[in-house]
Structure 1
């Protein structure tokens, strides 16, 4: 009799243990569903659409160049070549450029001046953050304290000095000039930077940013240094 009761008790415990294990596995099963909210998905979609738009713009520019060659090459090939070279120089930042834009005046904060705090250069990481904020807009060209910023420009600390294109920039106040594709884009950039949290980051370093009203004509200097092409190699027979 005791053996029968013990056997039944063992079976009951086995069933309870099996059910507990099944429930534990069910609760701990990985759920691979995407829990991102709608806003995150919209942001990702917006970034993908922006990349697609940039690619279409580049394709359009290449099509225009090919059309110029097709229409004018037989008439004046040298003129077409010169025009193409000038377009490339302008795109690379090697030519002076004039267009609609805004100016940023970076100055010591009033509190720093009143307290007699030492005014130092803008930290490189802070300046890079500002440039990244500006480059959120397409077709932007800029110059920092007279130094034209291009794709190969490096902003870094060299021997304790903040440099742009290896040239030390002055301590504030200094001017950052920005041009855009149109007055409409210049106004959008003005509104965006006016509301940006980058002002708070600069204020922590005792600096303020004053933004000028959009201007119809703003001139940026050409990049006047040698472009480093150490990673480019000519193939055999070239």
Structure 2
């Protein structure tokens, strides 16, 4: 097999490895709790089913790309590879997105005159529940106060503050931007979502707005790809 073909197949394997690494590292970031209510169990089951379907879709796409490599010229192979890389960058959150979608304003339901009412806190648990629902209802890309959510994003509590992508989120109010292929459907679901009720119980109100021009910035950090490596295999293609 020629050097160019080796490079092409190596890049294909790297793309597949990256997708698998993103999926499994994302799954490993989720915290396991000793006690879970029925809502959490159903939500986790649905999330795992969604993740499995997404992974299967990505594998199917790679099979199509592989078929294109095997049936086209070297120039067409390179073009298909570049298109795959661009698609992967978009899925990884490395590109700016301008699309239709929904804006969610998280507003504290707080009155300073009420001394026994603490200022509402956006906990990682609440935020992760909301993100899970958004993904279930058709969100394609999400940013929280212009902090891009990726498959490798960790949302956790450090000290007394919620961190996202290893950066502290500011106090409420916060704006969540969601790009979706069907913003009307997403908006309808969120208006009656369980997350909205959960947030209300913690004195955090939703203000929902549909938009035709939501701008979601690219992730500006570094992706951790230490477990991804290129394996050269002479059996990957013909000589």
Same-fold call, TM cutoff 0.5? yes
Q: For 1:2-81, list aligned pairs within 5 A.
A: 54=54, 57-58=57-58, 61-66=61-66, 69=69, 73-75=73-75, 77-81=77-81
Structure 1 residue ranges without an equivalent (≥5): 1-45
2-structure distance, mates of 1:137, 1:233? 34
> Which residue is 2:83 aligned to?
83
Structure 2 residue ranges without an equivalent (≥5): 1-45, 234-239
Contact 1:73 1:80 in 2 (8 A): no
Contact 1:112 1:206 in 2 (8 A): no
- Helix, strand or coil: the match of 1:112? coil
Question: Does the alignment pair 1:188 with 2:185?
Answer: yes
> Which residue is 1:140 aligned to?
140
Question: Aligned pair count?
Answer: 187
Q: What is the root-mean-square deviation in Å for CA atoms of aligned residues?
A: 3.2
TM-score by length of 1: 0.66
Identify which range, 65-74 or 155-164, moves more after superposition.
65-74
Q: Which one has a bigger Cα radius of gyration?
A: 1
Higher relative contact order (CA closer than 8 Å, sequence separation 6+): 2
> Which residue is 1:216 aligned to?
212
> Which residue is 2:30 aligned to?
none
Q: Quote the offset at 1:235 in angstroms.
A: 6.3
> Which residue is 1:161 aligned to?
161
TM-score by length of 2: 0.65
- Helix, strand or coil: the match of 1:126? helix
